[in-house]
Structure 1
Amino acid sequence: MTGVRRLWPALRDHLILSVGTLFLIAPVLVMLGSSTQSTGALGLDGPGFALGDHAVQNYAEVMTLKAGFTDQISALAMLRNSLIVATGLATLTTLLSLCAAYALVYFRVRWAAAAFWLTMATLLLPLESRFVTTFEVAATLGLVNTHLGMILPALALALGTLFFRQLFLSFPDEYLEAAKLDGAGPVRFFRDFILPLAWRRAGAIFVVSFMIGWHQYLWPLMLSTDESRYTMVRGMHLVGLESGPGMALAVLTALPPFLLVLIFQRYFFQALADTKDAF
Structure 2
Amino acid sequence: MSNKKNIALSLICASLATIFLVSVGFCSNRDNCIAIVYTEADFQGTSWEIYVTGEYDLWWKIDKDVENPRMIFDLPNDTIASIRVRPGYEVILFEHAELAGDSLVLDIDAPSLEGRWTGQASSLTVFRIEDQELVGRWQASVKSDSTEFAKGGIMDRDEIVAFMEENREGFSELIEAGENQWYDDTTDEQRINVAAYMLGLFEALGYDVSSWTPNTFAQSINNFYDWRKDLSLWQTACLVLNVDGAMYEEIFSSSRCRSLG
User: TM-score of the superposition, structure 1-length normalised?
Assistant: 0.22
The structure with the larger Rg is 1
Structure showing the higher strand proportion among its residues: 2
**Greater helix share, 1 or 2?**
1
By relative contact order (CA 8 Å, sep 6+), the higher-ranking structure is: 1
